[in-house]
Amino acid sequence: MTSSDAIEKVSLVEKLSLFSDHWSPKIVGELNDSHVKLVKLKGEFVWHHHETEDELFLVIKGSLLIRLRDRDIKLEEGELVIIPRGVEHLPIASEEAHVLLLEPKTTLNTGNVSSERTVAELQRI
């Protein structure tokens, strides 16, 4: 039986109040091979894809446009989308958006692309 000592609930709003930088996902939990992350987005990210990782975006606050090569997906609060591995995408938030991400621990935020937006070492909050 695993110890339950390490189990702590996570308030999304409380965690989101702890940071204000954009495009820098913070780890708020881990399960199986994945991390649960929170991120604040504003502006346009970079086109990228993840070779071997599917990625979930759930909008907590605001709205998020995810541009694909052949169409756009507009997410509002309480909406999620899963971007399968290999699919190029470009997240855009015209106003600040708060987003929960779920993805394998191996996932780099900019996927196959290295840019000034790349965050190699994520903070845990």
Nearer to a copy of itself, 27 or 119 (CB): 27
List the end-to-end C-alpha distance of the chain, in Å, as a whole number: 27
Q: What's the closest the beta carbon of residue 86 comes to a copy of itself, in angstroms? A: 4
Nearer to a copy of itself, 69 or 94 (CB): 69
Q: What's the closest the beta carbon of residue 33 comes to a copy of itself, in angstroms? A: 7
- Cα torsion angle, 47, 37, 106, 115, sign: positive
Q: What's the closest the beta carbon of residue 26 comes to a copy of itself, in angstroms? A: 14
Report the candidate in 53, 47, 48 with the shortest Cα–Cα distance to residue 85.
53
Q: Which residues of the chain form contacts with a copy of itself (CB under 8 A)? A: 1-4, 6-13, 29-34, 36, 49, 53-56, 60, 68-71, 73-76, 78-88, 102-104
CA–CA gap between residue 40 and residue 48 (Å, rounded): 18
Nearer to a copy of itself, 26 or 116 (CB): 26
Nearer to a copy of itself, 29 or 116 (CB): 29
Exposure string (b/e) for 57-84, b if CB count within 10 Å is 16 or more? Answer: bbbbbbebebbeeeeeeebeeeeebebe
